[in-house]
């Protein structure tokens, strides 16, 4: 007992010490932050000395882990047929490399230039990328994080096409000028061998052939190169003799060329939708021309015009007709037809329509050798927003079921939440209910992109990511061990009636597009209670069940509007004193009867929800089933405001949500509204701001003495009662436990504002309750049929309504500044509820025991604590009402409140109370009244938990730690002065707890708790668009994520331990695989089928024969991949050899530059010598007098 009293004395002393915004120790956080301890150090027994904080800066490091989803804006596609890995390039300079599920790698070009083309060095563990900035890059794939080994930047020509023959180290590069260059892959240096466009075409040709659109060597003879030019010219170039063997011309532009495997024929696709088949023996004209989708017109002469065939592939089969596969080529007469891929197999033509435009496609074949029967088995189709693989081995061409999480963007992502270290039974349970909804009709063969290797690694805790989408769907993803797999999809829009075309005017919608978009998500993994807030101002509470049910959906309507009375000359003598709360008890109970919704006459919308809940029985499959729908309604023609905060607690059976108008608390067990009140009315007399409306007009000015304050002010007897400008309620509340029974018991369909009956014609509202003369006169002044509450948008209110706390302004501007010292002129009467938190805490100053509380944070940095009075026993929970009452506690911070947390006296995070999950529709349990199993996380006595706890509150500008119950501010940290926080979460890491923050200026910070010491502060992620700000979230174990593009989720870690173990968790892109042997060609084919002369590219393209290319044409840039490879190697001799090789490369480059300068000087000297010799010969025989 002495210890308890002594600590109370210390709390009183620390409460008396000032906590200012300046002074004390300071630490730099996010550019100008300061730490201000509120308690004096050194006092024995203070909480600051008891808690040993274990986290230090050594525990933190930031790095990106993995990127999930579909590559944003794809441009290029490549496949390694031996390693069986796929590469996708994008317009933003990114490369995604995919193998078996779990093998997913993301690379990024530093320049950010679009990827034009990708070429694998087949079975070599390397990849060549050609970018729009005319640079070639060689990527090393033999390490888990690929890096660039070499780069080659073209200075005078633009790259248009690349081709790398199988098992060759010489890359052919076509340019916009029509020239073809050759690059050595090993050294990444240009060869002196160049095929100039003017030598490739005939001398008599007067026009430029255009850019090179195709390059390929003949399958029959590697010494012959086929060059396709854009204008329709085809050149078959003999590399040995350096001349054209044949030339072919076609009237239409060429888009692509494909060889027959025997090397005697090739096929071209053209801009008029035609395919031409050419024979090398008769190149004067194509021996076959077809327009696959062109119909012969009525005159019988011309076919109807068709779109270009952008790409064609010609693949042969040993036992069947060849496959001709192409994209495009549809006729122009059907403009609404979707993009298509056409498969021609013999006489059969199959058109596969796609949902999105086709970017590129590749045919997967059994052999990597171009001179063998190709035996195609699948087609990979890269669409703008999807990746499809078609099975060619079945006649109906089914698609493979895609194992990658590339459908994140199936509907645009609107919000995300991340849960690490959640209950392990959740993932199999969610998967079991989600597997029942999978589509049928996929190919029964295994996914063909099966390269790479991946193992689980050391990380074993389960992780779940939840994404909310614009169409109202919610997806649950298994994110364990840096993978991503969809578990379950919930369609929240199914609780509402579908809006038919033409009914938009009568539905009272506030959102024209995507009215079911998910705005906020709240999930309790332990109880499996799930709650969503939609953009149309509704909240849905879901319960999880393994059984299908057929039932009606319960719904409530809540009238939540911020009201300011508009009375010109109130009469003070008509205002009666506050009635006694005990005398109101019968009348309050009488208000629990059902009251019909009262709609305003005329076109004004009033008491109308934005959407219509299904009124019939609805079949709900196993999984999450809607338990309650809560909708905000229109008030006097004003639409309901979007919800800005949401919290649910399964142990209490309550859901709370708020917007810029106020707060609503709903009992989802009894399906009743407990509280519906404007934010200003939650303060009572504790509001630290004067919010009287200003107006330049005399008639609009309010006399403060003529208004009664809200009844909630009776809860604050210890404070001076402040006159309010909000409307005088029809009922007055007291500190009595029954004071809010009206709020608990009112009908969800009655006409209420801020929890009070407002319909002047409602008999049930007036029955049993005596209206004062002021109320009657006030109602009579409004006129008949007019609701007593009206949106008072006077000039004063319009001036005050600055964009301070609404979500729209949060998304539209990052430059606003909020401060708790702003004058009342700059204050908005609409104070948004920005954070809610249910917890077991000390509600009032100097309480002796914890109780159930709801912490409310506002956009002005105010924290209000509401006490929750729950029935004493669980048996009475379904019948006895829950009471919500303000505790009188109001705390302040700078900026909008973002998050709350509670620590016990040992500094350990106190978890929220929850109910252990039980199936609400279990077939083996007929007793519906069985007891709930609650986990309260609060010890039974104060001796078990200590006599105090810490409340952690973080706002956009500031973090504070309060000691409860004394409400002493122990620590303050001004996190940022020039920016503001977008997200803050209290998370666990290494069996300790910290505060993780993400700032709008790109800083990611972690702070120790409870002392708020800066542990990490890195300017890591600039907020380039609102997507990052809206989706960034932290979770436990040092994990975080955000939406890096509309289609991709980027995960990162701020844990040093995970950064160290990341290398083991990533998949291997390259695995040792033997290259298949080439088929025996046979004696006759070897004798007559091709050139008997072996083709030595090294002899032809090497420096000894071809010489050196001009250094001004392209610049070689060494990459960092070699150094990373050295770090990843085992060390010792291997590392030394690699370093020596890199040093030799650099030395060779410098020597090459010196050699070039020496050659230039020698040429200059030779020219000078020649000129001197000519002068000497000229004057050799002349006498001196002849000069």
pLDDT at 1077 over 90: no
Q: Which residue has the tokens 């002594």?
A: 6
pLDDT at 1021 over 90: no
Please say whether the beta carbons of 349 and 333 come within 8 A: no
Contacts (Cβ under 8 Å, ≥6 apart) of 1117: 135, 150, 151, 152, 153
The model's pLDDT over 644-665, given as tens digits with 9 standing for 90+, comes to: 999 999 999 999 999 999 999 9
Q: What is the dihedral of CA 1172, 1173, 1179, 1181, to 10 degrees?
A: 160
What band does 686 get if pLDDT is binned at 50, 70 and 90?
A: low
Polymer length in residues for the chain = 1187
Per-residue pLDDT averaged across 419-427, rounded?
A: 90
pLDDT at 531 over 90: yes
Nearest to 802 by CA among 782, 818, 784, 780: 818
φ, ψ of residue 170 in degrees (nearest 5): -115, 120
The model's pLDDT over 493-504, given as tens digits with 9 standing for 90+, comes to: 999 998 765 554
pLDDT at 1 over 60: no
Predicted pLDDT of residue 1141? 60
Please say whether the beta carbons of 971 and 35 come within 8 A: yes
Say which residue, 602 or 768, is predicted with more confidence: 602
Degrees to nearest 5, angle at CA 855 with 4 and 5: 10
Cα–Cα distance measured from residue 92 to residue 71, given in angstroms and rounded to the nearest whole number: 10
φ, ψ of residue 12 in degrees (nearest 5): -65, -40
Predicted pLDDT of residue 31? 47
What band does 946 get if pLDDT is binned at 50, 70 and 90?
A: low
Degrees to nearest 5, angle at CA 477 with 68 and 618: 135
Say which residue, 395 or 821, is predicted with more confidence: 395
Of 203-207, 680-684, 820-824, 836-840, the range with the highest mean pLDDT is 836-840
- Neighbouring CB atoms inside 10 A of 383's CB total 19
Say which residue, 468 or 872, is predicted with more confidence: 468
Please say whether the beta carbons of 932 and 949 come within 8 A: no
Distance in angstroms between the alpha carbons of the first and the last residue of the chain: 126
The model's pLDDT over 775-794, given as tens digits with 9 standing for 90+, comes to: 433 333 333 333 333 333 32
The model's pLDDT over 480-490, given as tens digits with 9 standing for 90+, comes to: 888 899 999 99
Ranges 86-90, 233-237, 595-599, 1090-1094: which has the least confidence: 595-599
The model's pLDDT over 815-828, given as tens digits with 9 standing for 90+, comes to: 433 333 333 333 44
Predicted pLDDT of residue 34? 53
What band does 111 get if pLDDT is binned at 50, 70 and 90?
A: very high
Predicted pLDDT of residue 1138? 53
Cα–Cα distance measured from residue 994 to residue 1008, given in angstroms and rounded to the nearest whole number: 5
Predicted pLDDT of residue 740? 35
Cα–Cα distance measured from residue 348 to residue 353, given in angstroms and rounded to the nearest whole number: 16
Cα–Cα distance measured from residue 52 to residue 68, given in angstroms and rounded to the nearest whole number: 38
Mean pLDDT, the chain, as a whole number? 77
Cα–Cα distance measured from residue 78 to residue 1185, given in angstroms and rounded to the nearest whole number: 80
Per-residue pLDDT averaged across 1091-1118, rounded?
A: 75
The model's pLDDT over 841-856, given as tens digits with 9 standing for 90+, comes to: 988 887 888 899 999 9
- 297 by Cβ neighbours in 10 Å (0-12 / 13-18 / 19+) ranks as exposed
Sheet holding 518-524, edge to edge: 518-524, 529-534, 538-545, 623-632, 555-558
Q: Which residue has the tokens 């630490």?
A: 27
Say which residue, 570 or 1074, is predicted with more confidence: 1074
The model's pLDDT over 909-928, given as tens digits with 9 standing for 90+, comes to: 988 888 888 888 776 555 54
């Amino acid at each position: 007992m002495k210890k308890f009293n002594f600590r109370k004395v210390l709390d009183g002393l620390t409460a008396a010490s000032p906590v200012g915004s300046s002074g004390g120790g300071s630490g730099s956080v996010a550019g100008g932050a300061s730490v201000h301890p509120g308690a004096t150090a050194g006092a024995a027994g203070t909480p600051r000395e008891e808690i040993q904080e274990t986290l230090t800066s050594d525990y933190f490091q930031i790095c990106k882990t993995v990127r999930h989803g579909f590559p944003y804006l794809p441009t290029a596609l490549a496949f390694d047929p031996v390693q069986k890995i796929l590469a996708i390039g994008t317009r933003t300079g990114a490369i995604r490399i995919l193998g078996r599920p779990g093998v997913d790698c993301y690379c990024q070009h530093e320049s950010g230039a679009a990827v034009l083309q990708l070429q694998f060095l087949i079975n070599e563990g390397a990849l060549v990328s050609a970018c729009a900035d005319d640079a070639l890059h060689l990527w090393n794939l033999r390490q888990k994080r690929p890096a660039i080994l070499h780069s080659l930047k073209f200075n005078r020509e633009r790259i248009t096409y690349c081709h790398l023959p199988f098992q060759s180290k010489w890359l052919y590069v076509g340019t916009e000028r029509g020239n073809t260059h050759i690059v050595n892959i090993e050294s990444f240096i240009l060869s002196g061998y160049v095929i100039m466009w003017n030598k490739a075409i005939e001398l008599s040709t007067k026009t430029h052939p255009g850019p090179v659109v195709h390059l390929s060597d003949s399958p029959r003879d590697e010494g012959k190169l086929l060059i396709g030019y854009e204008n329709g010219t085809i050149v078959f170039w003999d590399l040995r003799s350096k001349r054209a063997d044949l030339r072919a011309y076609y009237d239409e532009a060429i888009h692509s060329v494909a060889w027959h495997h025997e090397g005697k024929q090739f096929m071209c696709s053209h801009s008029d939708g035609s395919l031409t088949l050419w024979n090398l023996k008769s190149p004067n004209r194509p021996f076959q021309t077809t327009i696959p989708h062109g119909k012969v017109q009525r005159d019988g002469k011309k076919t109807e015009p068709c779109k270009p065939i952008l790409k064609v592939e010609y693949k042969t089969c040993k036992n069947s007709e060849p496959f001709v596969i192409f994209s495009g080529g549809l006729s122009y007469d059907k403009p609404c037809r979707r993009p298509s891929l056409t498969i021609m197999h013999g006489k059969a033509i199959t058109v596969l329509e796609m949902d999105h435009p086709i970017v590129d496609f590749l045919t997967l074949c059994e052999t990597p050798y171009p001179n063998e029967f190709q035996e195609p088995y699948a087609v990979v189709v890269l669409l703008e927003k999807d990746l499809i693989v078609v099975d060619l081995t079945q006649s109906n061409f089914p698609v493979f079921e895609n194992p990658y999480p590339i459908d994140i963007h199936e509907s645009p992502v609107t919000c995300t939440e991340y849960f690490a270290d959640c209950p392990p039974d959740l993932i199999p349970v969610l998967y079991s209910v989600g597997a029942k909804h999978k589509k049928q009709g996929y190919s029964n063969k295994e996914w063909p992109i099966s390269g790479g290797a991946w193992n689980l690694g050391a990380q074993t805790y389960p992780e779940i990511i939840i994404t909310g989408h614009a169409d109202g769907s919610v997806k649950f993803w298994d994110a364990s061990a840096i993978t991503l797999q969809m578990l379950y999809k919930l369609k929240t829009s199914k609780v509402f009636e579908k809006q038919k075309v033409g009914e938009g005017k009568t539905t009272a919608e506030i959102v024209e597009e995507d009215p079911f978009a998910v705005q906020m998500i709240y999930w309790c993994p332990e109880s499996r209670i799930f709650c969503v807030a939609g953009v149309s101002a509704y909240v849905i509470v879901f319960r999880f069940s393994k059984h299908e049910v057929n039932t009606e959906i319960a719904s409530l309507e809540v009238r939540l509007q911020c009201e300011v009375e508009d009375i010109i000359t109130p009469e003070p003598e008509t205002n009666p004193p506050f009635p006694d709360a005990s005398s109101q008890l019968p009348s309050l109970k009488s208000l629990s009867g059902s009251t019909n919704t009262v709609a305003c006459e005329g076109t004004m919308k009033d008491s109308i929800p934005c959407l219509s809940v299904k009124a019939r029985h609805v079949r709900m499959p196993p999984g999450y089933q809607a338990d309650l729908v809560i909708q905000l309604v229109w008030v006097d023609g004003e639409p309901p405001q979007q919800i800005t905060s949401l919290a649910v607690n399964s142990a209490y059976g309550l859901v709370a949500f708020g917007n810029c108008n106020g707060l609503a608390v709903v009992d989802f067990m009894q399906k009743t509204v407990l509280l519906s009140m404007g934010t200003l009315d939650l303060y009572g007399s504790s509001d630290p701001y004067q919010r009287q409306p200003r107006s330049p007009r005399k008639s609009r000015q309010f006399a403060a003495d003529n208004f009664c304050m809200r009844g909630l002010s009776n809860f604050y007897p210890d404070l001076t009662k402040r006159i309010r400008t909000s409307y005088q309620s029809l009922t007055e509340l007291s500190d009595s436990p029954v004071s809010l029974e009206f709020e608990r018991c009112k009908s969800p369909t009655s006409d209420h504002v801020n929890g009070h009956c407002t319909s002047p014609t409602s008999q049930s509202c007036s029955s049993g309750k005596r209206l004062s003369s002021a109320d009657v006169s006030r109602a009579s002044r409004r006129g008949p049929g007019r609701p007593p509450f009206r949106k008072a948008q006077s000039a004063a209110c319009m001036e005050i309504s600055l964009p301070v706390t609404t979500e729209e302004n949060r998304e539209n501007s990052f430059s606003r500044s909020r401060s708790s010292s702003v004058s009342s002129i700059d204050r908005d009467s609409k104070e948004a509820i920005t954070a809610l938190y249910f917890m077991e805490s000390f509600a009032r100053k100097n309480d002796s025991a914890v109780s159930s509380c709801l912490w409310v944070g506002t956009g002005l940095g105010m924290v209000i604590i509401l006490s929750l009075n729950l029935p004493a026993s669980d048996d009475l929970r379904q019948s006895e009402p829950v009471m919500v009452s303000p505790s009188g506690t109001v705390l302040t911070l700078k900026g909008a409140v973002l998050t709350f947390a509670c620590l016990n006296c040992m500094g350990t995070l106190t978890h929220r109370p929850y109910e252990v999950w039980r199936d609400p529709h279990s077939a083996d349990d007929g007793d519906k009244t069985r007891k709930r199993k609650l986990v309260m996380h609060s010890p039974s006595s104060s001796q078990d938990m200590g006599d105090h706890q810490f409340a952690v509150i973080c706002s956009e500008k500031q973090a504070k730690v309060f000691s409860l119950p004394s409400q002493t501010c122990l620590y303050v940290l001004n996190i940022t002065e020039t920016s503001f926080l977008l997200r803050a979460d209290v998370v666990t890491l290494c069996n300790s707890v910290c505060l993780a923050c993400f700032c709008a200026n790109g800083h990611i910070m972690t702070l120790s708790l409870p002392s708020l010491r800066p542990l990490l502060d890195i300017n890591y992620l600039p907020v380039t668009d609102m997507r990052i700000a809206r989706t960034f979230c932290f979770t436990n174990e040092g994990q975080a994520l955000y939406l890096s593009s509309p289609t991709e989720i980027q995960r990162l870690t701020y844990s040093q331990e995970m950064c160290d173990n990341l290398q083991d968790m990533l998949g291997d892109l390259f695995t040792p695989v033997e290259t298949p042997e080439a088929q025996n060609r046979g004696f006759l084919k070897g004798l007559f089928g091709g050139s008997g002369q072996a083709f030595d590219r090294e002899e032809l393209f090497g420096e000894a024969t071809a010489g050196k290319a001009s250094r001004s044409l392209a610049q070689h840039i060494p990459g960092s991949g070699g150094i990373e490879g050295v770090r990843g190697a085992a060390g010792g001799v291997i590392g030394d050899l690699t370093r020596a090789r890199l040093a030799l490369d650099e030395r060779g480059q410098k020597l090459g530059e010196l050699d070039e300068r020496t050659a230039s000087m020698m040429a200059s000297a030779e020219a000078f010598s020649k000129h001197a010799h000519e002068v000497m010969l000229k004057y050799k025989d002349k006498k001196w007098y002849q000069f």
